[in-house]
Amino acid sequence: MNLKKYLAVDIGASSGRHILGWLEDGKLKLSEVYRFKNGIQPRSGHFCWDADGLRENVIRGLAKCAQVDSVPESVAIDTWGVDFVLLDQELNRIGDAVAYRDSRTQGIPEALEETLSFEALYEHTGIQKQSFNTIYQLLALKKEAPEQLEQAAHFLMMPDYLNFCLTGVCANEYTQASTTALVGAREKAWDTALMEQVGIPASIFHPLRMAGDALSGLTPAVRAQTGFDTTVCLAPSHDTASAFLAVPARDENAVFLSSGTWSLFGVELTEPITTPESRAQNFTNEGGYQYRYRYLRNIMGLWMLQSLRRELGEEQYSFGALTQLAQRAANYPGRVDVNDQRFLAPDSMADAVRTVLSDNGFENPTLEELLSCVYHSLADCYADSVRALEKITGKTYTSLNIVGGGSQDDYLNQLTADATGLTVYAGPTEGTAIGNLAVQMIADGALRDVQHARDVIRESFPIRVFEPKRKDETEC
């Protein structure tokens, strides 16, 4: 049987993968054909992404499809948000792809406040304050290397740039662009007045395009490397936009959690919320597929556990081993604010957690207590976010749907159910790639719409259920 196949290139902060998807007997099937490592590296005094390596790996993964006799109907790329590259008039890259964990934006948000209050910025864009937001990165670049902005003719975010590498087409995709704090929340377009006010050249930005649009076929050079041609389609190219699309929610009273390096915790809305209360609670209004709004909090997420595992030794300590250690200190009362900026890019995550615990009156935690603290602090943050969502939206939520790699962590899933008091539905694991594929299938007519896609997803992948335990049960 000759089945149409589609390719999702899903790139995260630590790895990328090429996943083929197709419909068979009414269910979505997946096959990973290529995987590669990703990460930031020091370069010219900054932490940067290897843009050339990313391009080469994207093309190698495409070539792998031909090798396994699975040429896709289309391909779409998603990545993390906020980071970008600049191209000059000759379409050459200017400078490095500096990563969001770099410290170049230190002091920039405060400097911008002197001419533009965050209250006004939030009212315009609906994007929460994070030191690495693209607006701050661009202003840091303007301060450090103004000649780069002067030379720039094209602004491309990371998936935009990789699409350009495949097609030669420069385009900006809406869901990714919404993370910049340069897009009008209600206008759904670049806020050129804001750019003029802060001194960012509006001419380098391209009109925003919606996920599902076809960009082009592959360039002759890329066709020669892959051995075939295909259509490059725009995914919801911010990975959380794709992940939210893949949530097989059962009702409108569901909370979504895309759990990976970051925890993106929130709901889908039809209109943005940019009230002072929303700003104070640090919720963000990121763009979603078909102009849905991803109303959410960015929470530090599994980055903390990933960092601790690297320090301890990844070969010696699996994530399962970390869970077992944490459970030995299940009653440890120490907690931290997982969104403390000291956890963003510390030299040692263990030292950073110990320092914050010490500030909170908990001295000299054991390794087991350190891990227990992180697990319980994440669950408590999710519970706090549910309460804040209910207060702001006026709704009562009845379930929490977790997708992404973190959905495999049964211990954290149960802690989250206990802390929030909500039934937790965990899965699918490859939520981001699945959402990416779903949009390609909708664009090609293989799926009717978002609801049809979610119905198919629910029937195609195992979903594990975690019921909240009574307080007396959790204390046993």
Residue 6 has a pLDDT of 98
**What are the residue numbers of the active site?**
239
How crowded is residue 192: how many other Cβ atoms within 10 Å of its Cβ? 15
Residues 6+ apart with CB under 8 A from 310: none
How are strands ordered across the β-sheet holding 93-94? 93-94, 84-87, 154-157
Query: What does the pLDDT profile of the chain (476 residues) look like in tens digits?
Result: 579 999 999 999 989 999 999 999 999 999 999 999 999 999 999 999 999 999 999 999 999 999 999 999 999 999 999 999 999 999 999 999 999 999 999 999 999 999 999 999 999 999 999 999 999 999 999 999 999 999 999 999 999 999 999 999 999 999 999 999 999 999 999 999 999 999 999 999 999 999 999 999 999 999 999 999 999 999 999 999 999 999 988 778 899 999 988 999 999 999 999 999 999 999 999 999 999 999 999 999 999 999 999 999 988 999 999 999 999 999 999 999 999 999 998 999 999 999 999 999 999 999 999 999 999 999 999 999 999 999 999 999 999 999 998 999 999 999 999 999 999 999 999 999 999 999 999 999 999 999 999 999 999 999 999 999 976 555 43
Sign (positive/negative) of CA torsion 43, 46, 52, 54?
positive
Residue 252 has a pLDDT of 80
Q: Which domains does the chain have, with CATH numbers?
A: 6-233 (3.30.420.40), 247-427+446-476 (3.30.420.40)
Residue 251 has a pLDDT of 76
Given the structure tokens 């002091």, which residue do they identify?
A: 107
Contacts 24+ apart (CB under 8 A), 69-73: 70/5, 70/20, 70/31, 70/33, 71/5, 71/228, 71/230, 72/5, 72/6, 72/7, 72/20, 72/230, 73/4, 73/5, 73/6, 73/230, 73/231, 73/440, 73/444
Closest CA to 469 of 400, 425, 415: 415
Residue 199 has a pLDDT of 96
Residue 471 has a pLDDT of 62
51, 457 contact by CB (below 8 A): no
